Structure 1
Amino acid sequence: KDVFIIDDSLFDRSRSKKTELLAKVFDHCSMKYRNGYRMLTLGWSDGNSFVPINHCLMSAADDKNLLCKAADFDGRSLAGKRRKQSRRKATEVMIDLLKAARSSGISAKYVLFDSWFSSPKTITALKTDCELDTIAMVKKSSKIKYGYQDGKYNIKEIYKQCKKRRGRSKYLLSVDVTVGDEAIPAKIVCVRNKSRKKDWLAIISTDTMISEEEIIRIYGKRWDIEVFFKTCKSYLHLVKECRSLSYDALTAHVSIVFVRYMMLAVTQRCNTDDKTICELFYRLMDELDDITFNQSMRIIIDALMDTVMEHFHITEQQLEDFTTSLVQRLPKYMQKALEYGSAAA
């Protein structure tokens, strides 16, 4: 299933002092504030290939964390709109990026993100405004509550109330809840935390028709964007290559790095996926499958007949009756394969 993936990463500019829209950004890895931007990224993945679609270098929404002001531009121009967007909330910009991607013809079934973006307001906006289902990690907050049975409870309260599955089950708990004031139906699946044996994690899905195992499998695709961030920073010179002080130049540089990654993703797909040879792949694979299946059936039947004649010493008429009875008991697609094999022979 094709998915959109949303996440942000630190665009570090610790040594800069006069870069446009430079801000103090909280780094979740070091748990400290650093100078730079939050690189909000929208990507697309089918589980095999990840492609970055759009991005925004997020500055500080609060003036207290803003270190350098933006240059003056007409608010109606692209440069002016880009600078206004950088100071909005990341959840609002996420909706804009998704709408722009869908208007460009890019489609996906689900939107994946971690607990930093997982709020009822965001999930509701994706379902109502973008008509997209969400599969996301649930934030263990006492302030975020979901509709469960006849009341509203946070995820910890729901986990305590429900009975857990025992043994080696892939998940501990699965409950149906509602999200937000619109009461959007959703399913929460709790799984074990591999890093901490006594801890647990919760994943929410607004598509209640899919199974718990499928929810866990689809959410696993979110890791593709983490690999993408690591590759861009370590090998594609995302942070250290461009030292410009212009916000437009930095945005253009990020776009160039993303194009480099797209080229690598396409090359890797062509080298590993035989379907990239298009119609020739399907023609070759279909022909090989038919020939292999028919020949296999004929070999099995011929070996069976030879074994019966050798051990039971039956007549030709008895062997023919036995063969006819055996073929009639086989499924129709096997009977057709045997008929096709006889005609080819």
Structure 2
Amino acid sequence: MQKVTRLTDKDRPKVLIIDDSAYDRNRSKKVELLARCFDHASLKMRFYKGFRMLTLGWSDGHTFLPIDFPCSVRKSLKLIAFLKISKNALAAINVERIRFSQPLNRLPDMIRRALANEVEASYVLMDSWFTLPPLVKAIVKQGLDVIGMVKKTKQRYLVNGKPVSLKQLYQLAQPVESKKGILRSIDTVMKNGTPVKIVFIQNRNKRSE
């Protein structure tokens, strides 16, 4: 990790990336802690037999390094996550008996461990599956900014003290004409008090959205 950091320009942004990958074991029958999982990233939105591999990675735009990866299971489990911190040392992070829970509950601790082991990053990148108010607030408290997509959910934002939906927020946002692909943007606050900037962009795959 330190070798890669030395090769990276100091002015180049360094980020942590959150990803939730499917570890498919559909043909297995006698694998410890095998579970039926839902693949939210698949276009088929399918169920599969296997595990969910929650991964925290580091990137400078050219290199990607996975640095923490607990596996989501349905029973209590003692996991060991390994993080290489120097040439001659391998730190074993003992995650004591992680109980089955939503991956969102584990991410703040994963990021905290990375920062404690001198992993440099200014941003955390994630998709819409993870961009929820409790997680965003927990990451911001650790001194990192969050960049992620947002789903159309029942989530509300505060504008002049009034809660509004994402659709209503779009109507209140100011149009942006100078930047290609960006339609509107607005500074607002999540209901949990976390300040955010919402940027509305054109869907490249579906021009009507």
Same fold by TM (over 0.5)? Answer: yes
Q: What does residue 55 of structure 2 align with?
A: 41
**Structure 1 range deviating more: 88-97 or 3-12:** 88-97
Deviation of 1:131 (Å): 2.0
User: 1:150-189 counterparts in 2 under 5 A?
Assistant: 150-166=161-177, 169-181=180-192, 183-189=193-199
Greater helix share, structure number = 1
Q: What does residue 192 of structure 1 align with?
A: 202
1:23 corresponds to 2:35 = yes
Q: TM-score, normalised by structure 2?
A: 0.79
Q: What does residue 87 of structure 2 align with?
A: none
1:8 to 7, 20, 29: 20
Q: TM-score, normalised by structure 1?
A: 0.49
Deviation of 1:82 (Å): 4.8
2:200 partner SS = strand
Distance 1:83 1:17 in 2: 27
Closer, same or farther: CA 96–167 of 1 in aligned 2, 3 Å: closer
User: 1:23-102 counterparts in 2 under 5 A?
Assistant: 23-28=35-40, 29=42, 30-60=44-74, 82=95, 84-85=97-98, 87-102=100-115
Q: Could you list the runs of 5+ residues in structure 2 that have no partner in the other structure?
A: 1-12, 82-93
Instruction: Map Cα deviations across residues 134-192 of structure 1 (whole Å, 9 max, x no partner).
Output: 11111111x111112331112122113335345873310110011242x2221111110
Deviation of 1:84 (Å): 3.4
Closer, same or farther: CA 173–49 of 1 in aligned 2, 3 Å: same
8 Å Cα contact 1:56-1:86 kept in structure 2: no
1:126 to 116, 139, 160: 139
Greater strand share, structure number = 2
* Counterpart amino acid of residue 181 in structure 2: K
* Counterpart amino acid of residue 132 in structure 2: S
Distance 1:105 1:59 in 2: 29
2:69 partner SS = strand
Distance 2:71 2:80 in 1: 15
8 Å Cα contact 1:113-1:136 kept in structure 2: yes
Q: What does residue 254 of structure 1 align with?
A: none
Q: What does residue 263 of structure 1 align with?
A: none
1:114 corresponds to 2:127 = yes
Deviation of 1:54 (Å): 1.2
Q: Could you list the runs of 5+ residues in structure 1 that have no partner in the other structure?
A: 61-68, 200-345
Question: Structure 1 stretches (4+) deviating beyond 6 angstroms?
Answer: none
Instruction: Map Cα deviations across residues 73-115 of structure 1 (whole Å, 9 max, x no partner).
Output: xx7x969x75832622201111111111111110200101000
Instruction: Map Cα deviations across residues 234-270 of structure 1 (whole Å, 9 max, x no partner).
Output: xxxxxxxxxxxxxxxxxxxxxxxxxxxxxxxxxxxxx
* Counterpart amino acid of residue 47 in structure 1: G
Q: What does residue 144 of structure 1 align with?
A: 155
**Structure 1 range deviating more: 9-18 or 109-118:** 9-18
* Counterpart amino acid of residue 190 in structure 1: F
* Counterpart amino acid of residue 136 in structure 1: G
* Counterpart amino acid of residue 183 in structure 2: L
Distance 1:78 1:16 in 2: 23
8 Å Cα contact 2:174-2:185 kept in structure 1: no
Closer, same or farther: CA 135–155 of 1 in aligned 2, 3 Å: same
Distance 1:70 1:159 in 2: 43
Distance 1:15 1:97 in 2: 31
Deviation of 1:42 (Å): 0.6
Instruction: Map Cα deviations across residues 185-225 of structure 1 (whole Å, 9 max, x no partner).
Output: 211111100000011xxxxxxxxxxxxxxxxxxxxxxxxxx
* Counterpart amino acid of residue 167 in structure 2: K
User: Cα RMSD over matched residues?
Assistant: 2.3
Give the number of the structure whose alpha-carbon radius of gyration is greater: 1
Closer, same or farther: CA 82–25 of 1 in aligned 2, 3 Å: farther
Closer, same or farther: CA 56–151 of 1 in aligned 2, 3 Å: same
Deviation of 1:51 (Å): 1.2
Give the number of equivalent residue pairs.
183
